[in-house]
């Protein structure tokens, strides 16, 4: 199954609301980790966004899944970029 790198872009204007809603956002992600859908995720240290690695059937159904993220539902993500990724070495290579 393909792996996708998902890049979230955040703005300073949503920082307080993201902090408030982070537990719900992380609970959503943790459920996807438990299901094997999320391989890894985490914010960029400068607060500009986050990188999430998903194992999913295709980009369009992943985009639909991402719309369920509490951050997305609340309008706290400035931009989302979904890119299929082909790891050839390391932990995620097949």
SS (H, E, C) 2-67: CEEEEEEECCHHHHHHHHHHHHHHHHHHHHHHHCCCEEEEEECCCCCEEEEEEECCCHHHHHHHHC
Structural domain contains residue 93: no
Q: Confidence band (pLDDT; 50, 70, 90) for 94?
A: confident
Structural domain contains residue 71: yes
Structural domain contains residue 94: no
Structural domain contains residue 92: no
Structural domain contains residue 90: no
pLDDT tens digits for range 43-75: 999 999 999 999 999 999 999 999 999 999 999
Q: In terms of residue numbers, what domain contains 75?
A: 3-85
Q: How many domains does the chain contain in total?
A: 1
| pTM score | 0.94
The average confidence (pLDDT) of the chain is 97
Structural domain contains residue 91: no
Q: What percent of the chain has pLDDT over 70?
A: 100
Q: Which CATH number belongs to the domain containing residue 42 in this structure?
A: 3.30.70.1060
């Amino acid at each position: 199954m393909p792996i996708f790198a998902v890049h979230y872009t955040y703005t300073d204007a949503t920082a307080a609301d993201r902090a408030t809603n982070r537990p719900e956002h992380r609970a959503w992600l943790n459920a996807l980790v438990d299901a094997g859908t999320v391989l890894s995720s985490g914010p960029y240290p400068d607060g500009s966004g986050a990188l999430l690695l998903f194992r999913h059937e295709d980009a369009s159904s992943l985009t639909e899944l991402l719309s369920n993220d509490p951050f997305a539902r609340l309008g706290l993500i400035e931009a989302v970029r979904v890119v299929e990724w082909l790891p050839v070495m390391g932990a995620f290579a097949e």
